[in-house]
Amino acid sequence: MAKFFSHPANPPVVIIGLGRFGMALGEELVQSGVEVLGIDVDEAVVTKAAPLLTHAVIAETTDQDALRQLGVQDAHRVVIGIGSDMGASLLTASAVMDLGVPNVWAKADNQQHAKILTQIGVHHVVRPERDTGRRVAHLIAGHVQEYIEFDRDFAMAKLAPPLHMHGRKVEETPQGIAIVAVRSADGHFSTPPAGYVIRSGDLVIAAGRIKDLEKFADS
């Protein structure tokens, strides 16, 4: 990976297959400060993607040697965005799993596709009709443990509270953010009482406008 990436605070993500899903995910990750290497077999697709991603290259994604030459085996997270060509998706997934990548995500267009990807050993199977690109981007980036959009401009996220919130009351969140539930290290989620002080080890469910929530999660 060193030939493409420096040493960012957020480890880079490799996206294989730069169709609608792959590009939506890649752009969201780049905007979140994550470096992205995009790989596709189609030269025209790569040319279009190049200005939007950190790096974009042409390669036969089902060829394990080609992926190895790009350093895919050194990536922490790989997303396989190939959906419509199930054969190419499964061969690519198999090649990536054989490279020993520790965290592999793959798009599935139907239940059978999802089942086979799971059998191959893919760690996370994404169904685009259920999972928005923004939600998947936040999960992959590692900022939140769960993310749900209720509208184009409003969402809720489950996350470890930012360090600046430790020792502060739930009411002392930044403007536009509300903590609606808290789970202590040894408990269950519940509505926090007024004056509850957030501690290390807590998990919170925060709600707010998407821009405010993203800023809160990254702070």
Helix/strand number for the chain, H first, E second: 7, 10
**Is 60 exceeded by the pLDDT of residue 10?**
no
Find the mean pLDDT for residues 3-23.
76
Which residues have CB under 8 Å from 206's CB, separation 6+?
Answer: 156, 157, 159, 173, 177, 178, 179, 180, 213, 216, 217
Task: Work out the number of other CB atoms within 10 angstroms of the CB of residue 151.
Answer: 8
In tens, the pLDDT along 171-204 reads 889 888 888 888 887 778 887 888 899 988 888 8
The pair of structure tokens assigned to 21 is 């899903």
In tens, the pLDDT along 73-103 reads 998 899 999 978 999 999 999 999 999 999 8
**Is 50 exceeded by the pLDDT of residue 2?**
no
Q: Which domains does the chain have, with CATH numbers?
A: 13-141 (3.40.50.720), 146-218 (3.30.70.1450)
- Written as one letter, the residue type at 45 is V
Find the mean pLDDT for residues 103-111.
88
Tell me which of 5 and 18 has the higher pLDDT.
18
Q: Enter the pTM of the model.
A: 0.65
**Is 70 exceeded by the pLDDT of residue 9?**
no
The pair of structure tokens assigned to 184 is 């202590």
In tens, the pLDDT along 22-75 reads 998 888 888 777 889 999 999 999 999 999 999 999 999 999 999 999 999 998
Cα–Cα distance between 76 and 96 in angstroms, integer?
A: 12
In tens, the pLDDT along 120-160 reads 999 888 876 555 566 666 655 656 677 776 655 777 788 88
Q: What integer best gives the mean pLDDT of the chain?
A: 84
Cα–Cα distance between 150 and 207 in angstroms, integer?
A: 10
Q: Residue ranges of the alpha helices (H) in the chain?
A: 20-31, 43-49, 64-69, 86-98, 111-120, 133-141, 210-218
